[in-house]
Amino acid sequence: MTTDNPTVRSIGVIGLGAMGSGMASSLRRAGHQLHVCDVRYEAAQAFANEGGTACKTPAELAQSVDIIVSVVVNAEQTEQVLFGKDGAAAQMKPGTLFIMCSTVDPNWSVALEQRLNDLGLLYLDAPISGGAAKAASGQMTMMTSGHADAYAQAGHVLECMAANVYKLGDRAGYGSKVKIINQLLAGVHIAAAAEAMALGLREGVAADALYEVITHSAGNSWMFENRMAHVLKGDYTPLSAVDIFVKDLGLVLDTARATKFPLPLSATAHQMFMQASTAGHGREDDAAVIKIFPGITLPPAH
């Protein structure tokens, strides 16, 4: 699709979850022409009602756009988006840019770049961080790497979605490496925050008082402040689920294992999230890792 304004791009967004819907809204707000696709077609239709075009499959979307932003959960879903039934790859015009925003094994991202380049397509390794609110306001962080021609095709599109766009290397893999290191810290911080709150509850400290003191003291972390607020409310609606950290810390450990690099805190946090998942909390908010601790009474939902 062509337009009279060269700054307006025809962009497809695949995956309209907590992050993808916000990113698509940011692109639409910037004036770009949006095509959207989600496994829940009603989600794509709801988005299109406010502006844009809903597509039923990645293949349909790929026929109409110059750039595809994929915001699905993992590498397996990305494979389906590109190469599965009704996948996008076979329908993408030569020179189309695929921006991959999932948290994946860096080696898989390196291989995907080569696969797409062999098809005459461009690729950016571009994991994201910041949460749904920052995605919706265009204030999130993107950790990107890729060839110069991929960045050239992206133009200013990345900046429409993110306040912080980091260019970390001239080929795929570096963006994904930095993202999993971020996830190492995020997972360990959530696990530590849960452990601290659980100890406070076990010792009879009022949860709200503990939260107030810690968030104004040196032991605070962004994750304690954000996730323990969910515990205080008794609200485990999954903004980021326990099973996300089972996956992401698993990627962290797999990467380190390849070079026999020890990650003792990551390994412990991973076990905590796996324990929570096995206990039936995998689809709850990742703050539900606190539920693995025995002998405590958690604040009720309110």
Burial class (CB in 10 A: 0-12, 13-18, 19+), 4: exposed
Q: Is 85 a catalytic residue?
A: no
Instruction: Given the residues 134, 177, 179, 291, select the one marked as catalytic.
Output: 179
Residue 268, amino acid: T
Q: With CA atoms as reference, report the closest residue to 264 among 197, 195, 188, 193.
A: 188
Strands 97-100 and 122-125: parallel
From CA 253, how far away is CA 257, in angstroms rounded? 6
Q: Which helix (H) or strand (E) holds 167?
A: strand 162-167
CA gyration radius, the chain: 20
User: Could you tell me the maximum CA-CA distance found in the chain, to the nearest angstrom?
Assistant: 66
CB atoms within 10 A of CB 164: 13
DSSP single-letter state for residue 293? S
From CA 83, how far away is CA 107, in angstroms rounded? 18
| C-alpha distances in Å from residue 43, one per residue of 37, 54, 146, 272 | 8, 9, 30, 33
Q: Would you name the residues annotated as active-site residues?
A: 179
